[in-house]
Amino acid sequence: MAFEALDELLDESLHLPIGGRVYTVPAPSAEVGLRTQAIIHAAATAADGGRADEQVLADAAERDLYAEVLGTAHEQMVADGVPWPALKHSAITAMVWISQDKAAAERFWNAAGDPSRVAPNRETRRARSGAANSTRSRGSSSGTSTRPVPGPAKGKGQRRR
């Protein structure tokens, strides 16, 4: 068995429909992909209260990251007068694609960037999985319990009181 050509196995582009037109976002270069992943990691670290790599974030501010992740689609969107929110959503979708995968990018796109729509709430997840019906509830965690009072000792071999 031989390796097949990778470019035939991977769909290396995103197709984003905006205003009746489909914009094709080509795969980023390795440099753009690696920088995007570093930026997303640094931003997530900062969002979690950690210390982010300031050099990575400073580099991101100096470059037009949206243009880099959208590639040729960026110029087409600007030329077509795509509104800023749509261009921004497209760029962030491309960043999700670069840092995760196409399925995650599709979920982000279809949720219009609203985190509450990307991941369903706990009740919805449980209803889909059936977990709510089969999972036993935990006992009280208040620190008190009702233990049965031991009865009188019977037979030999029992402890004396």
**Three-class DSSP category at 115:** helix
pLDDT digits (tens, 9 = 90+) for 85-135: 999 999 999 999 999 999 999 999 999 878 777 665 555 555 555 555 555
pLDDT at 75 over 90: yes
**What residue has token string 């609203």?**
114
Whether this prediction's pTM lies above 0.85 is answered by no
Instruction: Calculate helix-pair angle for 30-47, 54-62, nearest 10 degrees.
Output: 120
DSSP string, 121-160: -HHHHHHHHTHHHHPPPP---SS---PPPP----STTPPP
One-letter amino acid of 95: M
pLDDT digits (tens, 9 = 90+) for 53-66: 777 767 666 568 89
